[in-house]
Amino acid sequence: MGYNAPSMARKTLITARDLERRPALPLPADALLTPLARDLLRKRGLWPPPVRAGGRGCGAPRLVVANWKSHKTIPEALAFARGLREELASRRPRAGAVVCPPATALANLRGPLRGVAELGAQDVSAHDEGAHTGELAARHLVDAGARYVLVGHSERRAAGEDDARCRAKVRAALRGGLTPILCVGETAGERDAGRTEHVVAGQLEAVFAGLDLARATRVVLAYEPRWAIGTGRVPQGEDVAAVLAHARAVLARAFPPDAVERVPVLYGGSVNERNAARLLALPGCSGALVGGASLDPARFAQILASA
């Protein structure tokens, strides 16, 4: 990947053929398994592995992020802020909340959400400033109160944003003092072709190559299978856990594993108040990125309470 930290130990990759040859092959806790190897272990009743002690997010900060997309005017956003404050008055969630409204509402939400949620933007310019009509640079978003920004959301990738653009935006966000939440994930076709891990690795490598450790560990990851967004379809828990582990394993090819353990990796795609507790308890899951169910303060508060 061309990282600045070349001395990282490689993860052990275990294939189905390895398991067939040596049925009692020891599985290191951080082993990387191919999908066929996982299927084989599943048949043998050995997959998913037991949750490690302290496995909820492996020490990474826990975050639940609301992505409002193109919803809510300023008065509607303010009503949400009042509602969320009321909902959270009687409970203290363990996860931090981040609300990503349309950029027009950022500055208005700063006061009303203080102490309740941080603010995030949904996109950022790859440029710091200049002749880029219509683009909002990191400094504008920070100015309006944002601390986070989504990068590479599937709806932006569908609108033509490629890995190179995501890479430039992650760098612009970091330069400008924002925490990027980098979204990665496969399409239904890629999943059906068994290419999920390959696709996710490629998206991560494109962005992280050349980042130094200090910047790399400021990025939050969100695994969002594109076919699960807004569809009500959620992958099997074990498949989510496997991709979250894979994402960390990809980063651990270049960065110290203990630093990688502290990178939050969220799950996103049709998270709601009914499935949140199960998804948020998956090994390695640090939180959730929530679209539709984040528009209602009571539902969002319930998801936060599950984290």
Alpha-carbon span 235 to 233, nearest angstrom: 7
* Smallest distance, ligand PGA to C-beta of residue 127, A: 25
Q: Backbone phi, then psi, for 244, in 5-degree steps?
A: -60, -45
Alpha-carbon span 281 to 258, nearest angstrom: 20
Task: Tell me how many degrees the CA angle 287-51-41 measures, rounded to the nearest 5.
Answer: 115
- 57-96 binders of ligand PGA (CB under 6 A): 67
* Smallest distance, ligand PGA to C-beta of residue 266, A: 9
Q: Which of 161, 197, 205, 224 is catalytic?
A: 224
Residue closer to ligand PGA (CB basis): 141 or 222: 222
Among 182, 250, 251, 290, binds ligand PGA (CB under 6 A): 290
Residue closer to ligand PGA (CB basis): 181 or 249: 181
Binding string, 269-288, against ligand PGA, x = CB under 6 A? xxx-----------------
* Size of interface with ligand PGA, in residues (CB under 6 A): 13
Residue closer to ligand PGA (CB basis): 84 or 290: 290
Q: Which residue has the tokens 């390959």?
A: 198
Please indicate whether residue 153 is annotated as part of the active site. yes
In the three-class reduction of DSSP (H, G, I as helix; E, B as strand; rest coil), residue 179 is classed as: strand
Please indicate whether residue 246 is annotated as part of the active site. no
- Indicate whether 102 belongs to the interface with ligand PGA (CB under 6 A): no
Strands of the chain, DSSP E: 13-14, 32-33, 63-67, 96-100, 118-121, 148-151, 179-184, 220-223, 265-268, 287-290
Residue closer to ligand PGA (CB basis): 7 or 236: 236
Task: Tell me how many degrees the CA angle 275-298-117 measures, rounded to the nearest 5.
Answer: 95
* Residues involved in catalysis: 153, 224
Residues that bind ligand PGA (CB under 6 A): 67, 224, 229-230, 268-271, 289-293
